Chains A and B, each alone.
Chain A
């Protein structure tokens, strides 16, 4: 079975500091990887997916197959980035599996 690990339950950073939310996956093939975000009082929504190789709201994530990681990064955190972030993985025809989430708190 697939597994997605987000080791940090809470990450607090100061505004303007760099952010890195960690994610490791266990799928041995070629997974499809995602980051989802949930802002306060809003529904969970897709932030970015690795096959798009895009930057959304200043966030990027690079797939590292050697380390089986898909860490989410942003060079300068903003207060509006405070939210719950979930990493997710899907491989082949298997269902999408989510990590347990990391709460990002940006301190003004």
Chain B
């Protein structure tokens, strides 16, 4: 597709259940980011992939959160044993990157709205 695609767009889950959020970046983009945006709040960085490796996962809030990326393309963010405070919009973004000043524009998906009840 032409843009970053995320699924599901909306997810309501019960506290304690696991959820998986998927991101399809723009074809050819080597960098992939996950962010979280809570109601009325700014962007909270979660994890950054360069290819299939994650050189920066410093933003993952706890060990209940994990992410993987396969084939340098699709990424999955998994939240185990969800809590109500996990309710937020989870944004995925991608960029060409790798070369300074030439490819670092980030393109965002529309987000996955997660509600934990």
List, sorted by A's number, 8 A–B pairs whose CB atoms are closer than 8 Å. A30-B100, A43-B110, A51-B101, A91-B100, A96-B106, A98-B35, A98-B45, A100-B42
Q: What is the distance, in angstroms, from A13's C-beta to the closest C-beta of chain B?
A: 20
- A-B CB pair tally, cutoff 8 Å: 56
Interface residues on A, range: 20 to 34
Q: Given the known inter-chain contacts A43-B110, A43-B111, please indicate yes or no for A96 contacting B104, CB distance below 8 A.
A: yes
Q: Does B33 contact A (CB under 8 A)?
A: yes
State A92–B55 Cα separation when bound (angstroms): 15
Q: Which of A46, A86, A91 contacts B105 (CB 8 A)?
A: A46
Chain A nearest CB: distance from B35 CB in Å?
8
Contacting pair B106 A88 (CB below 8 A): yes
Decide if A95 touches B108 in the complex (CB within 8 Å): no
A44 near B91 with CB under 8 A, answer yes
Q: Given known contacts A86-B42, A91-B100, A95-B33, is B108 in contact with A44 (CB within 8 Å)?
A: yes
